[in-house]
Amino acid sequence: MANDSKVWLITGSSTGYGRTLAETVLEKGDKVIATARKPEQLEDLISKYPDTVKALRLDVTNPEEIIVAIEKANAAFGQIDVLVNNAGYGLIGALEEVSDAQIKRNFDTNLFGAINVIRAVLPVMREQQSGHIINMSAIAGFTNELGFSIYGGAKFALEGVSEALQGEVAPLGIKVTIVEPGPFRTDFIGRSLDRAEEQMEAYQGTVGKFLNFLENIEGKQPGDPGKAAEAIIKVVNSENPPLRLVLGKYAYSKFRNKIESLKTELDKWEAVAANTDFE
């Protein structure tokens, strides 16, 4: 293996960002451990790149499968240079509308699944004294949308974990980046968006409005997944990668508006809130 060649472990590689990223990485000559709940969906990728891709079954909500998959991944090419926590899906519904089972399943996939994969990969990266962890979030993980209380909440938590993790592993030669895309032309709105089991009239003007927005842009999202993949690869190859990579003009606008809103609110309440220390 060439010294500048990397081994990528990408979860949720069968569709969406994961699939596009895997294809782009392989085209550039790196190696990929592509994981999916149904690895047979990756057979065409294996046929095209038989020497540089290995497909593994992995349901990130199954801790035992995670351990086995990481062991097999490390054995496959002898190293894991980049982990991309991409497996995940959306859930839209007001907090009152979504069921207990939907909440648990979404957090198990989007938050605890990612955490468990990171914890399993860290011993490998510590031994190597190198590595890069890419956690796929969403702009909703920084400034949430009405109806994404659970999905965005899980991503918010993943971002909080990532912020602390970055400082913990930096002395070990390991880097961390959070990726925050806006609407990209993947199957997120269709196949990967769960909906509340009960839709209440009281939330049609808020959550319903956002759901209509999502359904209306399906297939017309401005984001290009291929360009997103190129941006992620550029970050991985950077000497000083950012903690956050915001993708797309929509996401950049939302991000900047949140920062300005936070500053305005902070300044407005400073006299009250800051004056609460002992004299």
**Marked catalytic residue, from 17, 151, 203, 250:** 151
In a domain, 167, yes or no: yes
- The number of folded domains in the chain is 1
Q: For residue 112, what pLDDT band results from cuts at 50, 70 and 90?
A: very high
Q: What is the CATH number of the domain that holds 220?
A: 3.40.50.720
Amino acid identity of 234? K
Answer yes or no: 220 catalytic: no
pTM summary value: 0.94
**Marked catalytic residue, from 137, 162, 250, 254:** 137
**Marked catalytic residue, from 54, 155, 175, 254:** 155
Q: pLDDT, tens digit, for every residue of 50-87? A: 999 999 999 999 999 999 999 999 999 999 999 999 99
Domain span at residue 53 reads 7-248
In a domain, 269, yes or no: no
In a domain, 155, yes or no: yes
Answer yes or no: 151 catalytic: yes
Q: pLDDT, tens digit, for every residue of 13-55? A: 888 888 999 999 999 999 999 999 888 889 999 999 999 999 9
Answer yes or no: 203 catalytic: no
In a domain, 140, yes or no: yes
In a domain, 256, yes or no: no
